[in-house]
Chains A and B, each alone.
Chain A
Amino acid sequence: MLPLKEKDKPIIQKLLSAGCCARCVLRFCCVSVQAAYRKQPEETLKELQIFINDTENDKYAAESETSEDPPNKRAKLETSITDVQSEEEAAAVVKSKDGDSRVCVVCLGILQGLCGTTQAIKVCAVKAGNYEFDTLVLSVSLPAQLCVREHSCWLYVKKEGLVLDKDDVIQVKEAFKWIMQGMVTKELGGIAVVTKVSPFEVSVEFTHPETDADCHFLAATCPDCFKPTKNKQSVFTRMAVVKALEKIPDAKFLKHYPCPPTQPTSSCSPQVQCLHVSVFVAGRYNKFCRSLPQTPWVIDGERRMESSVEELIAAPILSAFRADGFNFSSSGREDVDVRTLGNGRPFAMELLNPHKSRFSKEQMKQLQETINQSSDKIKVRDLQIVTREAMSRMKEGEEEKTKSYTALVWTQKPIQREDISFIDDIKDLTLDQKTPLRVLHRRALAVRQRAIHSMSTRFLDSHHFYLRLKTQAGTYIKEFVHGDFGRTIPNLCQLLKTDTDILELDVEVGESHICKTNIQKSKHIPPTSDSLPHRGRSGAEQDQCPQGCRP
């Protein structure tokens, strides 16, 4: 039995004749009993019809506010109903018998056929089937014109002098969720469909192109509500439409929009999408290859160098987590031709929409092993799942770090051991480095002061020696060695009084700490470098842009 009151009768009658479905009628009657919406629509319709036709039976009348309605008023109401049983309404009652096969003028079918078991099954079996989750949250997106139609029906009822507070009307979204949540839970064999927060979200988007134009008149009547958007997206957002409906005076609305709304010929089209919240994985990597870029090197759609650090690390992780994509971030980076030795460089990855998210420590170890077996160019250690906040801390303090490098230096003039021993005694040498020419196309022109804390040399032969350096983060080592047209001062050429060049460079990221990064980059898109192809060794060195900018 539906919790309806006597005063609801005219509302029900008007709305049924206007073409509203049974559940929408319940909404306008402010029925907040969830179970009422879960009944079969045909059943609900029958009950509504019984209710409105039941003028003689006191069953319902007894439950109405008898105290409020004085007897003669009630009698008047009852007689007026029977009197005003016009052709139209009689026809409407007849129509509504098979009327629910016609699309509801307000919910456009959303509360009719589109929230049945078929829908629930579609959601569960097809979409949610290949995800791993304990709970799910259902989100619904409705076309903006629903608000307009709702407003129109509300005015239709209001016109008759029937008092109906718009805020008391049950929202379509709420009713839909009341109906669907239970069904989905049943289909999933008991997985809790929570109402607030869950890592797994199933979103149902309804569109109805047939009636999209319903909102358009609002642009003319309330132009300041609709701001032009830069993208091709429609300016008629739900928020903007709601705002406009709040402002527009009733008379104006009625002038521009039919009341009640017109009968649509089709139902909404639903689209179901599932999204699992991102999972974060972190670790440290070593790089043993001198021809491997950090990120994919693609120019004009053509790949210039095979693979990359991030692809080699990401591939096994992506497949294990069955994620759609990733964002890779590391605490600094090194050049294509520079090896990363020592404890390895901290990195972190955001895995987008992982279909599998639960991994034990053992499984993570196994995954690490898989990565290490997959390539001899890189090695990963300390692979672990971390929180989003943990990632923020990885890039912190990058500027304060000290870096250790080993460079193989070539000298033009022949040298002997004694010639380079003085270098070992140099402490805290301050360099003035103009932005190296090799990165000047993408960085601002500036002079950077950087410190070389200490150096040590290992003589190799009359034209070669190994130079170990401990420097401040952000020091351009290559430019210190060859001078960069004299734009890094002092430089090794000046110190040794000969032309020098750098043949090889290794970086050692010293201290061990768990990586915590701040991902500031947007979605992973292969960079389309604006530089012409590099020949031989690349130029970029360990760029330490404090903002973590990408090249």
Chain B
Amino acid sequence: MESVEHEDTKANAPSVIDRYYTRWYRADMKGKPCEDHCILQHSNRICVITLAETHPILQNGRTIKSINYQISNGCSRLENKVSGKSKRGGQFLTDFAPLCRITCTDETEYTIYSCIRGRLLEVNENILETPNLLLEKPSTEGYIAVILPKFEESKSITENLLNRDKFENIVSKRSSAQSQPS
């Protein structure tokens, strides 16, 4: 009875994400198989970049060795500073701008990308201290970054993204095509 109650209230109480955000996806980012990103778009146009549940980092019990926001010699996402209401100073990102590089304990390396055009507002520093957040709560506390698209582009950025249905289609095609994604 408890689990029924549990299910009931889950159905009756849509989560924060369900209430305020639309889930968009980019599959196989930069051609790399299964490196799927999930973009949570708030109704106020702010986007939170997260790993999709199908991302390799979240599979096969991987653990994270390090997360590096220094994406090049001259650029660290940690140095991003915005000021004021108009968020001046934030690094402007394009779709394929790298946000961070994650190295797992099994030496596999992954780059997480912006996926959308916009101004970088913040990157998640909590995952530097507690990488487990990324594994346990990839859609909430384990988020990667927050990006603010230009007002004029707030609707057009989703043109290159997949909605949940289309994404699930692609995922199901994968499992039928291959035996098991790694």
| Also in contact, A532 and B44, with CB within 8 A (given A443-B85, A463-B6) | yes
Identify which of residues 127-182 in chain B touch chain A, using a CB-to-CB cut-off of 8 Å: 133, 137, 140-141, 143, 146, 148, 151, 154-155
B140 touches A485 (CB 8 A): yes
Contact code string B39-69 (vs A, CB < 8 Å = 1, else 0): 0001111101000000000000000000000
- Chain A contacts with B in 457-506, Cβ cutoff 8 A: 461-464, 482-486, 499, 501, 503
CB distance from A539 to the nearest CB of B (A): 6
Q: Assess A531 versus B45: contact at CB under 8 Å? Given A445-B82, A483-B140.
A: yes
Contacts of B121 in A (CB 8 A): 440, 445
What separation, in Å, do the CA atoms of A273 and B104 have in the docked complex? Answer: 76
* Surface stretch bound by A, among B15-23, B30-38, B92-100, B109-117: B15-23
Say yes or no: A485-B48 contact (C-beta < 8 A), given A437-B146, A441-B148, A537-B19: yes
Q: Is B107 an interface residue (CB 8 A)?
A: no
Chain A residue contacts of B155, Cβ below 8 A? 532
Task: Identify which of A442, A463, A485, A530 contacts B143 (C-beta below 8 A).
Answer: A485
Q: Does A417 contact B (CB under 8 A)?
A: no
Residue of A at shortest CB range from B126?
A486
Contacts of B74 in A (CB 8 A): none
- The answer for the CA separation of A410 and B13 in the assembled complex, in Å, is 8
A536 close to chain B: CB less than 8 A: yes
Question: Roughly how many angstroms separate A440 CA and B86 CA in the complex, as a whole number?
Answer: 10
| Chain B residue at minimal CB-CB distance from A461 | B5
**Contact yes or no, A483 B20, CB < 8 A:** no
**Distance in Å from the Cβ of A242 to the closest Cβ of chain B?**
41
Given A438-B42, A445-B87, A532-B44, verify A464-B154 contact (CB < 8 Å): no
A533: Cβ under 8 A from any B Cβ? yes
CB distance from B14 to the nearest CB of A (A): 8
Q: A533–B133 Cα gap in the complex (Å)?
A: 31
B contact residues around A441 at 8 Å (CB): 42, 44-46, 148
Contact residues in A for B85 (Cβ distance below 8 Å): 442-444
Select which of A438, A444, A462 is within 8 A of B5 by beta carbon: A462
* In contact, A536 and B44 (Cβ under 8 angstroms): no
Q: How far is the CB of B4 from chain A (nearest CB, A)?
A: 11
Residue A535 CB within 8 A of the other chain: yes
Are B151 and A437 touching (Cβ within 8 A)?
Answer: no
- Set B16, B42, B124: member contacting A501, Cβ < 8 A: B16
Nearest A residue (CB) for B17: A485
Which of A437, A461, A499 lies in contact with B42, CB distance below 8 A? A437
Are A463 and B5 within 8 A (Cβ)?
Answer: yes
Q: Say whether A414 faces chain B, with CB atoms less than 8 Å apart.
A: yes
Complex Cα distance, B82 from A501, in Å, reads 29
Contact assessment for B2 and A534 in the assembled complex, using a CB-CB cutoff below 8 Å = no
Closest-by-CB residue of A relative to B21 is: A437
A537: nearest chain-B partner, CB-CB: B19
What B residues does A438 contact at CB under 8 A?
A: 20, 42, 44
Q: How many residues of A contact B (CB 8 A)?
A: 34
Measured CA separation A503–B2 after assembly (Å):
20
**With A and B bound together, what is the CA distance between A453 and B124 in angstroms?**
29
Query: A-B pairs with CB below 8 Å: how many?
Result: 88
Among B14, B20, B124, B154, find the residue whose CB has the most chain A CB atoms closer than 10 A: B20
Residue B9, interface by CB 8 Å: yes
Residues of chain A with a CB closer than 8 A to B43's CB: 531-535, 539
Q: Tell me the smallest distance from the CB of A142 to a CB of chain B, in Å.
A: 43
The reply to whether B48 and A501 form a contact with Cβ atoms under 8 Å apart is no
Q: Are A437's CB and B140's CB within 8 A?
A: no
Chain B contacts for A439, CB-based, 8 A:
44
Question: How far in angstroms is the closest Cβ of chain B from A123?
Answer: 47
Q: Across the interface, which residues of B come within 8 angstroms of A501, CB to CB?
A: 13, 15-16
Given A441-B44, A445-B82, A486-B141, A539:B9 Cβ within 8 A: no
- A445 and B112 alpha carbons, distance in the complex (Å): 23
Determine how close the nearest CB of chain B comes to the CB of A67; give it in whole angstroms: 76
> Bound complex: CA of A485 vs CA of B42, how far in Å?
13
Contact in complex: B82, A532 (CB < 8 Å): no
Contact between chains at B5 and A530 (CB < 8 Å): no
**Is the CB–CB distance between A534 and B20 below 8 Å?**
yes
Question: Given contacts A410-B13, A463-B6, A501-B13, is CB(A437)–CB(B46) below 8 Å?
Answer: yes
Set of chain B residues within 8 Å of A499, measured between Cβ atoms: 15
Cα distance, A399 to B88, chains bound together (Å): 27
Contacts of B126 in A (CB 8 A): 486
Chain A, residue nearest B20 (CB): A539
Q: How far is the CA of A537 from the CA of B151 in the complex (A)?
A: 23
Closest to A531 in B: B44
How many angstroms between the C-alpha atoms of A427 and B6 in the bound complex? 31
The chain A residue with its CB closest to the CB of B10 is A412
Q: Report the nearest A residue to B139, measured CB to CB.
A: A485
- What's the least CB distance linking A300 to chain B, in Å? 12
* A441 to B148 Cα, complex, angstroms: 8
Measured between beta carbons, the chain A residues less than 8 angstroms from B14 are: 536
Apart from A530-B151, A534-B20: 15 A-B pairs, beta carbons within 8 A: A410-B13, A434-B122, A437-B46, A439-B44, A440-B148, A441-B42, A441-B148, A442-B85, A445-B82, A461-B5, A485-B48, A485-B143, A486-B137, A486-B141, A537-B19
By a beta-carbon cutoff of 8 Å, the part of chain B in contact with chain A is 2, 5-6, 9-10, 13-16, 19-20, 42-46, 48, 82-85, 87, 121-122, 124, 126, 133, 137, 140-141, 143, 146, 148, 151, 154-155
30 residue pairs from A and B, CB less than 8 Å apart: A410-B13, A412-B10, A414-B5, A437-B44, A439-B44, A440-B46, A440-B121, A440-B146, A441-B45, A441-B46, A441-B148, A444-B85, A444-B87, A462-B5, A463-B5, A464-B9, A484-B16, A485-B140, A485-B143, A486-B126, A486-B141, A530-B151, A531-B44, A532-B43, A532-B45, A534-B43, A535-B43, A536-B14, A536-B19, A539-B43
